[in-house]
Structure 1
């Protein structure tokens, strides 16, 4: 299953809820303000790094927010083509807002 999180973890519980209900095989994409969850030295980045499932960060949203150099390493950045490929690959998806 693919989980798409779009809200900042600093203003919403959507990431925490996603982590609670996702399985270790599920993949997560952080988009829009959810990219702030991948900032270094946050409890959210640590929680995401401990997952066995893949976590992706949407590159256009990272660039739009100017946080390219503040992200934890280990979360692949994806572009539009990779985003589309992931949505095609996963027939089941949940959008967490």
Structure 2
């Protein structure tokens, strides 16, 4: 399993398309920094092909005033959860 880390919003960058194209059936996607904007209900349809495998970093949601506003299909993790995701992954790939 590969952990893909995306730090750009789908509203301002097309990097999410490259990330999705590079994902395998068991890979996971973690939204960080401005990427957490993709966790909002209006943006999450961009990620429907990886439904159930999307995570957003709580600290970045809080920093942007978005805590509690994620789509129900996005799993929110804190920094410890981020570490756990990286430990479970064979490797990580950052998209920016």
For structure 2, the residue ranges without an aligned partner over 5 or more in a row are none
1:40-51, aligned counterparts within 5 Å? 40-42=41-43, 45-51=44-50
2:67 is aligned to: 68
**Distance in 1 between the 2:46 and 2:26 partners?**
15
**TM-score using structure 1 length:** 0.87
- How many residues are aligned here? 95
Structure number with higher helix proportion: 1
For structure 1, the residue ranges without an aligned partner over 5 or more in a row are none
String of CA shifts for 1:42-86, please: whole Å, max 9, x gaps: 3xx013244255110000000110112432112110011111111
String of CA shifts for 1:12-68, please: whole Å, max 9, x gaps: 2111110112112100100000000111123xx013244255110000000110112
2:88 is aligned to: 89
2:77 is aligned to: 78
- RMSD (CA atoms): 1.5
Answer with 47-56 or 23-32: which moved more.
47-56
**Distance in 1 between the 2:52 and 2:26 partners?**
5
**Distance in 2 between the 1:17 and 1:23 partners?**
12
